[in-house]
Amino acid sequence: MPYRPSSIGLLAGVSILAATLAAPAQAQNVKAKAGTLQRVAEFGHQVTGVTVSKDGRIFVNFPRWTEDSPVSVAEVMKDGSIRPFPDPEWNAWRNARKDEMSARDHWVCVQSVVADGRGNVWVLDPAAPAQAQVVPMGPKLVRIDLASNSVAQTIAFDETVAPQGSYLNDVRFAPDGQYAYITDSGAKGAIVVVDLSSGKARRVLDGHPSTQPEKGVTVKADGRELRRPDGRGVEFAADGIALSPDGETLYWQAIKGRTLYRIATRTLIETGFRGGQDAGPQVESYGKNGVADGLLIGRESGRMYVSAPEEDAVKVRDLSAGPASEPAMLVKDKRLRWPDTFAEGPDGSIYVTTSRIQDSAFFKPDAPKSLTTQLWRIDRNAAEATGSVGQQAPRR
């Protein structure tokens, strides 16, 4: 029987905010198109990742952060219920039984799920419950064949790739299926490059300033600095990641940061596998997104969707306008509490999870261990909004 969330997702129509950024005199003002925000499902546990296959199947994951979640990876059914994926056994891990179960073939603490457009869903497991100690033999990238709903490949990461203190966060796949790129948002940020055929992986930009929390940035929620009871703020390193549709350029940024960075993927591959020189000098700062968690570049539009957790919002940015461009507001709604991860549906609609990180026991000791979270859909008309062009005109 499928596991049923606390309540079945209902439709919730809201107006998508029209967004106009004033541009230089030689450019035209651009306005976001109207649309609706639709609640696809509601869950009784904290969700982070979401992905949608080419045939419209939806998958989500629930990390073990403040609770021992009963399901780690699930398929969202049409009625809003969820079914453990690929099966109950892979979801059988429990923190209290870690000495009894194999971490290699169970979900330990899954952070991301991504469909590759080639008939597979990949599951990224940093295997660090509560974002703390990495469980030995647990970090892995697992390919599940959607035709058979069975595991087809497991790429295990040793301590050279996922050392103690690491937290492998999100992943993108080259269009030709040869390489994957992963952000490490843990104690020492990095980009991990994976050769999918051989299973070999290398850390690149390990400790580089572009993959670390940005000094002087304080993440806020509800207008106030977000801090733990002991005074620590948000310190997540490289987190959001996006790949250009042609697979030639990788973008990323830290949550504790406002700057978007990019690099040619061939540089990462040469550095990681072909004895190339340090990739650091080839990193390019590509303007400011503001504090952001999830990033996604549309398959056809090439526009970047940017989560804005400080503003309960989703923004969109026209990358072709250059690094001076700024994200334009696409959706702003109080129910978008910490918009986390994006996915694009086969019809171009954008899906986004709300993980409610600011409401979790990490930051509110009296918070329940289990949080009610949601999956939302932004319709295609709104998702096609062009976003900003050029620089924002000065206020008068």
- Output the tens digit of pLDDT for each of the chain's 396 residues: 444 444 333 333 333 333 322 222 222 233 444 347 899 999 999 999 999 999 999 999 999 999 999 999 999 999 999 999 999 999 999 999 989 999 999 999 999 999 999 999 999 999 999 999 999 999 999 999 999 999 999 999 999 999 999 999 999 999 999 999 999 999 999 999 999 999 999 999 999 999 999 999 999 999 999 998 888 888 899 999 999 999 999 999 999 999 999 999 999 999 999 988 899 999 999 999 999 999 999 999 899 999 999 999 999 999 999 999 999 999 999 999 999 999 999 999 999 999 999 999 888 888 888 999 999 999 877 666 544 333 333 332
Q: Are 231 and 219 in contact (CB under 8 A)?
A: no
Tokens (6 digits) for 181: 């790129």
Architecture of the CATH domain 35-383:
6 Propeller (2.120)
Q: What are phi and psi of 135, to 5 degrees?
A: -75, 125
Contacts of 114 (CB under 8 A, 6+ apart): 49, 51, 121, 122, 124, 170, 171, 172, 173
Domain ranges across the chain: 35-383
Question: Is the Cα dihedral 221, 222, 224, 230 positive or negative?
Answer: negative
Given this model, what pLDDT does residue 14 score?
Answer: 36
Segment (H or E) for 374:
strand 373-378
Q: Are 312 and 333 in contact (CB under 8 A)?
A: yes
**Sequential DSSP letters for 259-328:** EEEEEEHHHHHHHHHS-PPPSGGG-EEEEE--S-S-EEE-TTT-PEEEEEGGGTEEEEE-GGG-TT--PE
Q: What is the Cα–Cα distance from 199 to 209, expressed in whole angstroms?
A: 27
Q: What is the Cα–Cα distance from 221 to 231, expressed in whole angstroms?
A: 15
